[in-house]
Amino acid sequence: MKIAILGAGAIGSLLGGLLAEDGNEVWLIDIWKEHLERITREGLRIESSWRKRVIKGIQTAESAGEVGKVDLVILLVKSYATEQALIKNLDLLKKTPAFLRCKRVLEI
């Protein structure tokens, strides 16, 4: 499955890495150019208390125009960036059969 993840922060990168490890073609789309370049160059490093690994082959892009058609788009950006991410990547969303928005909510 070809999956685009909008937002390559901690959660987006982790989910992207796990999906890529499972054999999916994963595209991380983000405006954080340095992070994307490092993933492309060195792979995505995932560390937990029981395992450390580097996942290679994850595709990266600063805009959805570089990605082409995908089977699933997952939106994993901060709440304040949601509208901007949707507008910037509207062409990709129009061509995609499935869309998943994940939102973290912390109430204090």
* Domain ranges for the chain: 2-101
Q: Which CATH number fits domain 2-101: 3.40.50.720, 2.40.160.20, 3.10.180.10, 3.40.50.620?
A: 3.40.50.720
**Mean pLDDT of the region 57-66:** 93
Question: Which of the two residues, 5 and 93, has the higher pLDDT score?
Answer: 5
The string of pLDDT tens digits covering residues 70-79 is 999 999 998 8
Q: Which two tokens stand for residue 84?
A: 């901007």
* Average predicted confidence (pLDDT) for the chain: 91
As a whole number of angstroms, the distance between CA 52 and CA 74 comes to 25
**Which residues have a Cβ under 8 Å from the Cβ of 65 and sit 6 or more positions away?**
91, 92
Q: pTM to 2 decimals?
A: 0.88
